[in-house]
Amino acid sequence: SSTATSTAAPEQGRPRDYLVLAISSCFCPVWPINIVALVFSIMSRNSGQQGDTDGARRLGRMARLLSIVSIVLGTIIIVLYISLSVRGNPAF
């Protein structure tokens, strides 16, 4: 029965700041969004170090969302650019 209570207990660890995801999203060509994601990630890390776990979780979730949006939009832009470049220059 102790395992049932330990799995149902709320998460007590440090909130995630998604800094690696935000840094990796900076390689996508959607620069305003990924820079804002990086700023939210750093703010989340600072809030977690100051003991504000709720604020750190909220900022971390926002950093994750913006990083994912940046990666998805960046991938779409890159695929469109490559497909239009190949289509515009026929090989024969």
* pLDDT for residue 9 is more than 60: no
- Give residue limits of the domains in the chain: 30-88
For residue 8, pLDDT over 50 is answered with: no
H-assigned helices in the chain: 2-8, 19-25, 31-49, 53-88
Q: Among residues 66, 70, 69, which one has the least CA distance to residue 44?
A: 66
Nearest to 72 by CA among 17, 18, 34, 20: 34
Residue range 17-42: mean pLDDT, rounded: 95
